Amino acid sequence: MTRRDDLYALAAKTLARLLYPVAHLSAPGRARHVACQWALAVRYPRESLAGLTPAAHHAFTTARTEAFWRDGVLIGLTSGYRDAAEQHRIYVADQDKPGLPRALPPAESPHVRGLAMDVRPREGARWLEEHGSRHHLYRTYDNEWWHFELHPTRPIRLPYPGARIASTVRTRGGTS
């Protein structure tokens, strides 16, 4: 975290405390949740939670409310839902980049299904990796510290998007 990030985080926490009474009036019983989302929307003005499934939206906002009020950790959304055209663009562009793959084609991408969230900053991703399972949110790739998905139970973490697990591939010719 840079000093600027620290200041922004402090500002967001101060803002959430200031907005808490207003949130209490507009959503009694959910004031912490609402004040947190308001403050994070100010801190990360370009983020969009639109297009996430209701379950993914609920899991993400509940998890970051917990991170915010309990541990003072901010979690922003860099990229959530993507339509197929955007995912295709990202997938094609990724093919030209060196290193391991960082994108799936639209038909395979959980971003297109509204079930994946790329988060920031790194401290927020670390929090989600440690505590996200309470909300069914899991990091799924070794090479993407920022990428989380909603799953009913912990999935096997893959080295990179599109990697296949050799041991699960059944060979032909066995008994059936």
Binding site for Zn ion (CB under 5 A): 116, 118, 147
Decide: residue 164, CB within 10 A, 0-12 exposed, 13-18 middle, 19+ buried. Answer: exposed
For Zn ion, the closer CB: 86 or 118: 118
Question: Considering the complex, what minimum distance in angstroms separates the CB of residue 118 from Zn ion?
Answer: 4
Cα–Cα distance measured from residue 92 to residue 55, given in angstroms and rounded to the nearest whole number? 29
* 3-class secondary structure, 112: coil
In this complex, which beta carbon is closest to Zn ion, that of residue 27 or of residue 92?
A: 92
Nearer to Zn ion, 37 or 87 (CB): 87
CB of 121 to Zn ion, least distance (A): 15
Beta carbon of residue 149, minimum distance to Zn ion (angstroms, whole number): 8
CB nearer to Zn ion: give 19 or 119: 119
Which residue's CB comes closest to Zn ion? 147
CA distance 115 to 134: 16
Query: Which residues are within 8 A (CB) of 20 and not within 5 positions of it... i.e. 6 or more apart?
Result: 31, 32, 35
| Phi, then psi, of 38 in degrees rounded to 5 | -65, -50
Q: How far is the CB of 82 from Zn ion (least distance, A)?
A: 9
